[in-house]
Amino acid sequence: QLEQCDYDIIGEGSQGTVYLCTNKQSNQRFVVKEVELGQMSAKEKELVLNEAHLYQSQLSHPNLIKYINSELSGQNLYLFMEYANSGTLLDFLKNLSEQNTVLREQEIWLVLLSLMHVLRYLHSENYIHRDIKPDNVFMHQENGVLKVFLGDLGMSKNILQQKPTTIVGTWEFQAPEITRNYGKEIDFWSVGIVLYLMLSFRLPVMRAESSENEKNRIRKLISQTELPPIETKYKELNEIMKQLTKIKVEERLTANQFFEMKLVKQKIEELEQTYQLGYMKSLLTKLIFKLFKQY
């Protein structure tokens, strides 16, 4: 399919290259993730093939990056994905910082609602993401409407098939219980750290270097003390951030509890027209019915 497209490199990493492709006939734009399997360890290869498998499954949600196709050619795997034209949330925050400005409250709510909504869906399908961070949150502008997507399912795990025990994810966004038995709650912690970053433009714990000692220092800090307080005029969002980052798993805010909050229901109503969030109300009804049937 690459031969039918004009393409530009938009990202390069240790595992391969990411291209932005434009189909010469349809003018459709999409992303192709080229992964060089031959250069990978067995573990790295497992994660990449896991991502391809998940995208080929029936997982589908308005806030999940859409899978188009995949091809295996020699030692290279090609994943064809939906294109988000405004980059990642990390890019978005960097641009705002360079302009000496901050996120508007409604933009923070949009990201939070979108992440919690897609997590409610993934968790209802018995998947945990395990690597939520600004780099894996994608932004897209369409007809003046900003949309938010969660991507990169490489670390995701079906908790019905096998109990998760592997320590994965990015240090600064890992939940305190990642080194012990853990479950769906680790995703909510990571959303809490993303929310912390959106409110303060800093992380609660910053790494000084990439070393085993530094990793252990970060884990020790987040498992023993509450996160450093931040000053923000968005008091309601700050309170939700605190609830998402409770050290005790049983006290941590879940997606079900989040969407039962009167404040959250009010925000969906307020932002429904601006960000076309009508799907949230209809999908929530379906998810509640599905969860009810499970019991």
User: What DSSP string describes 13-77?
Assistant: ETTEEEEEEEETTT--EEEEEEEEGGGS-HHHHHHHHHHHHHHHTT---TTBPPEEEEEEETTEE
Strand 76-82 versus strand 157-158 pairing type:
unpaired
CB 19 within 8 A of CB 7: yes
131 is catalytic: yes
Give CA–CA dist 274/140, Å, rounded.
14
**Which tokens go with 295?**
């019991």
User: What DSSP string describes 153-217?
Assistant: -TT-EETTTS------S-GGG--GGGGSS--THHHHHHHHHHHHHHHHSS-SS--SSSSHHHHHH
Q: Report the greatest alpha carbon distance in the chain.
A: 57
Alpha carbon separation from 80 to 20, 22, 49 (Å, rounded): 10, 12, 14
Catalytic residue among 131, 135, 152, 187: 131
Residues taking part in catalysis = 131
